[in-house]
Amino acid sequence: MSDAMKHVLPPDEAAIIRPRRRISVIWIVPVLAALIGLSMLIHAWLSVGPEISIMFQTAEGLEVDKTPVKYKDVTVGVVSAISLSEDGSYVVATVTLDKRAENLARADTRFWVVRPRIGLQGVSGIDTLLSGAYIGVDKGASHRPGNSFVGLETPPTVINGTAGKSFVLHADDLGSLDIGSPVYYCRIRVGRVASYQLDANGRGVTLEIFIDAPYDRFVTAQTRFWHASGVDISLGADGLKLDTQSLTTVLAGGIAFANPANVADAPAPARRTFDLAKDQQTAMAPPDGPSQYLQLRFEDSLRGLVIGAPVEFAGLNIGRVASLDLGYDAAKHRFPTVVGVVIYPSRLGGVLAQLPKYSGNPDQQAASFLANMIQHGLRAQARSGNLLTGQLYISFEFVPNATKVDFDPDARPIAVPTVPSSFDHMQEQVASIVSKIEKMPLDAMGQHLDASLVDLDKSLKQVNGQVLPATTQTLQQADRTFQTVQGAFSDNAPLQQNLQQTLLEVQRTAQSVRTLTDMLGRHPDALLKGLPNDPPAADFPSSSHVTNPGHSP
């Protein structure tokens, strides 16, 4: 301490020396932890993306801070909160997206819960059995951002960006189709049903289908679509036909399409509209073109004729039955059946070009043509299409020597004269045959037949009692005779030996005669003069001593 300080301080106070304060090393750890936590907070704050809300029917499989949100199997967010709506009709899942996934929150982005699902279209979401459910994302194409979405209850059938085209089909009813039902081309699955909705007028259904690339190029302006659901069984002149696509199609329904033969066309643009036919035959039929309505009046019963029954001309289907009504004939006090039919003249094909032309509107042309045909015997008739089911159809035919009728070509609707049903005529013939059978003396014929059978029974008894035993005895005697003859002609039998000796003698005699004949041929006068230098008759050897009959002397 310096002298100056000693003079300043009081003499009775001692000097106090205090050491400098230094920061302890132990404080470095919490400071570093605070810095790390602050950096993590800053990083988390910078990495947090937008917060969106998704509405679902139920919160099944969802958990706060555990259920992830995935896009292309990459986690892009997490469920941060789950709440119930004010009216309790749905739940709201609050999702916090990552900063790098903020562009997924577009106005048309779709969300759904991925969980195990088993259906006719297959099994999906099996991986969630262990990992748990998660929210799937299908990125939209809109440039407008969104923060409130309605979640899908089922996964979308078509993911945005999938190569292919969408088309629109109109059908009378949905049938067995559903979202995800397959679409087939040449029995190959090439697409699926994406959505459907009822038309505004309630008279049909509009479906949207998606055809995967490269099969979408086979859909042209001439393509025909039809229901491929169920099993199509038909019985025709060439036998029983069974047509179906696959077991899945039979159970879950499906759609098939094809192009008419020898028709080449460019691929159809996306969103083009087509009609969905009920079957392949209807779909591939040529276009019907304009129709013509005709009216028929039948006096006889038409039980078995239904709306939609075919109308034929010369065996060709040219239309269908459109209506069935009951009329009243005041003059005859009868209730005829009034049948309305719709015919399509274009189904006659190339013969239309050969028919006579008439002036006027289509109705006048049809009336003029029918007037000419009716004069030549054209009539409508109800015929039986199936004897087992009793179904009827309408046939236009030329009836020989048909009764003349009055036809008014100016009347509307156009009325075509009819003739009685062939089925009723057949019933009359059957009734006539039954009547003739009833007139036959069946009782007398039965009694006579019974008497004849009694006589036949007596004859058979006589044959069994007398003729058959005698015949059996005769056959036994014949068998014994055959055995005796067989024994007589055996190798060791005397008759066989005598017969062999006799044959040898006959052979020798024939040889001698041949020798004599040869000699007389050379010497014809030998019988009168003898042979030259012939020895005396006494010395000439007899035929019994000739050792070589074949040698000439």
Write out the DSSP string of 94-132.
EEEEEGGGGGG-BTT-EEEEE--EEETTEEE-TTHHHH-
Among residues 156, 244, 258, the alpha carbon closest in space to that of 208 is found at 156
Pick the range with the lowest mean pLDDT from 190-204, 409-423, 482-496, 531-545. Answer: 531-545
- Given this model, what pLDDT does residue 484 score? 78
Query: Residue with structure tokens 């055959």?
Result: 482
Whether residue 56 has pLDDT greater than 90: yes
> Quick one: DSSP state of residue 249?
H
Q: Is the pLDDT of residue 532 over 50?
A: yes
Confidence of residue 14 (pLDDT cuts 50, 70, 90): low
Res 230: pLDDT: 60
**Count of other CB atoms within 10 angstroms of residue 454:** 10
* pLDDT higher than threshold 90 for residue 53: yes
Interval 134-145 mean pLDDT = 90
Of the candidates 80, 180, 95, the residue with the CA atom closest to the CA atom of residue 137: 95
Question: CA-CA distance, 315 to 155, in Å (whole number)?
Answer: 51
Q: For the chain, which residues make up each domain, given as ranges?
A: 44-150, 164-284, 292-424, 494-545
How does residue 531 score in pLDDT terms, banded at 50, 70 and 90?
Answer: low
pLDDT in tens, 231-287: 666 554 444 566 665 555 565 678 999 998 877 788 999 999 999 998 888 888 877
To the nearest whole percent, how much of the chain has pLDDT over 90? 28
Residue 342 above 90 pLDDT?
A: yes
Cβ–Cβ contacts within 10 Å for residue 167, how many?
25
Q: Name which residue leads in pLDDT, 368 or 363.
A: 368
Tell me the residue type at 498: N
pLDDT interval class at 124 (50, 70, 90): low
Q: Would you say residue 94 has pLDDT above 80? A: yes
**Can you give the pLDDT at residue 289?**
81
- CB within 8 Å of 178: residues ≥ 6 apart: 193, 252, 253
Q: Give dist(CA 198, CA 176) in Å, integer.
A: 15
CB atoms within 10 A of CB 184: 18
Cα-Cα-Cα-Cα torsion 298, 304, 309, 310, nearest 10 degrees, comes to -70
Tell me which residue has tokens 């009539």.
379
HSE-CB at 479 with a 13 A cutoff on CA atoms is 6
For residue 46, give every residue at least 6 positions away whose Cβ sits within 8 Å of its Cβ, in sequence order, or none: 99
The pLDDT of 103-116, averaged and rounded, is: 89
Peptide bond into 413 cis (omega under 30): yes
Question: From the CA atom positions of the chain, what is the Rg in Å?
Answer: 56
- Is the confidence at residue 3, as pLDDT, over 60? no
Mean pLDDT, residues 300-322: 89
CA distances from 523 to 41, 528, 534, 538 (A): 161, 10, 12, 21
pLDDT at 5 over 60: no
pLDDT per residue over 315-339, tens digit each? 888 999 999 999 988 888 889 999 9
Residue 27, both tokens: 């404080």
Quote the pTM value.
Answer: 0.56
Count of Cβ atoms closer than 10 Å to residue 540 Cβ: 11
**Least reliable range by pLDDT among 205-219, 246-260, 364-378, 529-543:** 529-543
pLDDT at 438: 80
Is 60 exceeded by the pLDDT of residue 83?
A: yes
Q: Which residue has the higher pLDDT, 542 or 156?
A: 156
Give the span between the Cα atoms of 224 and 275, in whole angstroms: 8
What is the predicted pLDDT for the residue at 238? 46
Indicate the residue type of 532. P
Residue for token pair 């004859």: 459
Question: Among 18-32, 222-236, 499-513, which is the least confidently predicted range?
Answer: 18-32
DSSP-based three-state secondary structure for 445: helix
Model pLDDT, residue 551 = 44
Query: What pLDDT score was predicted for residue 394?
Result: 93
| Burial letters 276-308, b for 16+ CB under 10 A, else e | bbebbeebeeeeeeeebbbbbebeeebebbeee
Residue 421 confidence class, pLDDT cut points 50, 70, 90: confident
* 292 DSSP 8-state letter: E
Question: H/E element holding 275?
Answer: strand 273-277
Identify the pLDDT of residue 123.
61
Contact predicate 292/312, CB 8 Å: no
